[in-house]
Structure 1
Amino acid sequence: MADAPLHLALDNSPLTMPIKEAGALPDGTPLRFETVQPIHRAFAPMAREGRFEVSEMAIVTALQALAYGKPIVLLPVTLAARFQHRCLIRLASRPELTPAALRGCRIGVRAYTQTTGMWVRAILAEEAGLPAEAVHWVTQEGAHLAEYRDPPFTENRGKGRSLPDLLRAGEVDAAILGNDLPDDPAFVPVFPDPAAAAAAWFARTGIVPVNHVLVARRDVAESRGDTLRALMAALRANKPAPSSDGAPDLRPMGEAALRKPLAAVLEACQAQRLLPRAVSIEELFAPARELGLAA
């Protein structure tokens, strides 16, 4: 089994490109990468049917998969994270639209379950006193988990027009975008100085907003633990050196480093009706810990 290729779906990043280019782990295990672009298109087939042995997955999708009893194991490796204040945008011609003024407004987001949307809603709840139900959420897609149903304060408009187009047409008041933020002066962040707001938020909370983590099918985690440990070690070895200016580590790895951000994610998911039942931080890490994959 040690020589069998490991089937993975991972996005291109400084963490993953060295092993993608090598085509193998340092221990010689061959790697077979599935090409999925954008990477969020891999999340539903992994969560619903375990299509890959190992996959990148949005943390909200991973938590929902766990809550619905899917046979996946969360591995404590962050593959993507970012500060989220800049991801909430408005038309530049609407300068009066502040975070607090969004109560009762319509905000567009790709999916209600999108992790970027979860983080922005958590920030709005904390900093502007806006719980999720105080806003009407206009979505384009459903959840990656077939069992999940969006709450009643959402409206699925389908994929017909882009979120920037809906903003231009005045059909939403603001929108949440991640890697697809438009490079267009017609759009500006709702938070007036998002970099300063994010820095203040991190200084206050100490939380890195984790977006994507590593998951494995349960049968693979049970039968190929040595290979998964080698994969995790290879990804960890590709992390950039710590910043000399004390900037936060945007790739936290290991249970100890991830407990605080994932506890915050669990709290936000409960508040936003993203989970069908309560999930504890211990339940989240237990499978990896039992299999010796939590360090």
Structure 2
Amino acid sequence: MDHPTLPLGLYQYEHTAALFDGTVTINGVDATFTTAPIVSDIFQGMVRGDFDVAELGLTYFLRTFVLEDPPFLALPIFPNRNFRHSAIFVNTASGIEKPQDLAGKTIGEFALYGHDAGVWPKGILADDYGVTPDQCRWVIGGTNHPIPSFDWIPQPMPADVDIRHAANDETLGAMLEAGEIDALISVDVPQALLDGSPEVARLFPDYQTVEREYYRRTGIFPVMHVVAIRTELARQPDLALAIYHAFTEAKEIPARRYRDRAAKRHMAVMTPWFSELFAENQRLLGEDWWPYGVEANRTAVDTFLRYHHEQGLSTHQLTSEDIFVPDLLRT
């Protein structure tokens, strides 16, 4: 008997490779996987109806809840996560030496007001340093290349925050290096920093130490993206569970490879001292350092949901019970 066809949009990560090459299949469906060189193109494809299941940035997913009939629910699968103290950059002549100095400054933000790698730093700045978005001026745009406004997704703008979009020919990275903005929050690293420009630095130069301390204190490994499913398909619990199990199995393949190859000091990896880094990360993050499921991620997800509401991006504060497929809430 033929299985139903299920089009999925997904970036190619090492923990999704087994889905693309067919090593892992989704039980009961004929899945077709589509990727893109820019992950936001996958997001846009899901919004315009190209996929039944797809990776969505967490804020892109949450913005659809302002619609009268929200089209998606989330599966507790988190293909992209990253610590984000390292996503805050400053102009070295701006007088910003500590987080509190951001108050009163002009800050660039990549792509849209409240992108995934922006919601986290803004929330952390508010919680830990008392700097809230309304204390700053904001310029939205591309970091290393100009990008237009993402008009294909709802863009709520809090009334008490000064926000404008950069001109069509401007990049936030160049504006930061020139001192036209004082700071930048961006998923992309400014090219000026990569090129060694003395005009651009990270707000937290020793960001790895700061981020590790943040994890020890909070237990949060920030989630960036979820896998979303159309609401009509989410009513099929066997389908949702099959997708969840397949993604979990695919993730375990590279995780097991990292664990098994520690005895040979990961000799297939080009990065020097990688085994020491892997061992240090395991000591801090645990055996399953990239967990799926609701319970293992509840603190991180609920913190993001709080930040999203506090930053004026959600009309009310959502909960994990609001956004995840009900049959997967016990995962």
Which TM class, normalised by the smaller chain length?
0.7 to 0.9
Q: Kindly tell me: are residues 92 and 29 of structure 1, through their superposed partners in 2, closer, same or farther at Cα, counting changes over 3 Å? A: same
Is 1:246 matched up with 2:283? yes
Give the counterpart letter for 2:156 in structure 1. R
Give the counterpart letter for 2:157 in structure 1. D
Report the Cα offset of residue 173 of structure 1.
Answer: 0.8
Report the Cα offset of residue 36 of structure 1.
Answer: 2.4
Report the Cα offset of residue 202 of structure 1.
Answer: 1.3
* 2:165 maps to which of 156, 161, 169: 156
Is 1:60 matched up with 2:59? yes
Structure 2 counterpart of 1:85: 85
Report the Cα offset of residue 176 of structure 1.
Answer: 1.6
8 Å Cα contact 1:82-1:211 kept in structure 2 = yes
8 Å Cα contact 1:23-1:32 kept in structure 2 = no
> CA–CA distance in 2 between the matches of 1:149 and 1:160?
24
> CA–CA distance in 1 between the matches of 2:113 and 2:211?
22
Q: Kindly tell me: are residues 260 and 96 of structure 1, through their superposed partners in 2, closer, same or farther at Cα, counting changes over 3 Å? A: closer
TM-align CA RMSD: 2.5
Structure 2 counterpart of 1:281: 320
Q: Secondary structure at the match of 2:107?
A: strand
Report the Cα offset of residue 208 of structure 1.
Answer: 1.5
Report the Cα offset of residue 138 of structure 1.
Answer: 0.7
> CA–CA distance in 2 between the matches of 1:24 and 1:282?
29
Give deviations 1:110-149, integer Å, cap 9, x for gaps.
2112010001101111222101111111102545664433
Structure 2 counterpart of 1:201: 214
Q: Kindly tell me: are residues 180 and 250 of structure 1, through their superposed partners in 2, closer, same or farther at Cα, counting changes over 3 Å? A: farther
Q: Secondary structure at the match of 1:6?
A: strand
Report the Cα offset of residue 192 of structure 1.
Answer: 3.0
* 1:234 maps to which of 243, 246, 249: 246
Structure 2 counterpart of 1:136: 137
Report the Cα offset of residue 196 of structure 1.
Answer: 1.1
Give deviations 1:136-166, integer Å, cap 9, x for gaps.
1110254566443323421112442222111
> CA–CA distance in 1 between the matches of 2:329 and 2:136?
40
Structure 2 counterpart of 1:98: 98
> Structure 1: 5+ residue runs without aligned partners?
none
> CA–CA distance in 1 between the matches of 2:246 and 2:189?
29
Q: Kindly tell me: are residues 226 and 213 of structure 1, through their superposed partners in 2, closer, same or farther at Cα, counting changes over 3 Å? A: same
Give the counterpart letter for 1:220 in structure 2. L
> CA–CA distance in 1 between the matches of 2:32 and 2:105?
45
Task: Tell which structure's C-alpha radius of gyration is larger.
Answer: 2
> Structure 2: 5+ residue runs without aligned partners?
142-147, 260-277
8 Å Cα contact 1:73-1:221 kept in structure 2 = yes
> CA–CA distance in 1 between the matches of 2:24 and 2:212?
38
8 Å Cα contact 2:321-2:329 kept in structure 1 = no
Q: Which moved more, 1:73-82 or 1:90-99?
A: 90-99
> CA–CA distance in 2 between the matches of 1:246 and 1:169?
42
Percentage of identical aligned residues: 24
Is 1:50 matched up with 2:53? no
> CA–CA distance in 1 between the matches of 2:222 and 2:320?
16
8 Å Cα contact 1:5-1:30 kept in structure 2 = yes
Structure 2 counterpart of 1:113: 114
Structure 2 counterpart of 1:9: 9
Q: Give TM-score, length-normalised by structure 1.
A: 0.88
Q: Secondary structure at the match of 2:80?
A: strand
Q: Kindly tell me: are residues 181 and 2 of structure 1, through their superposed partners in 2, closer, same or farther at Cα, counting changes over 3 Å? A: farther
Q: Give TM-score, length-normalised by structure 2.
A: 0.79
Is 1:269 matched up with 2:269? no
Give deviations 1:188-232, integer Å, cap 9, x for gaps.
211131111111111111111100111111122224x43442332
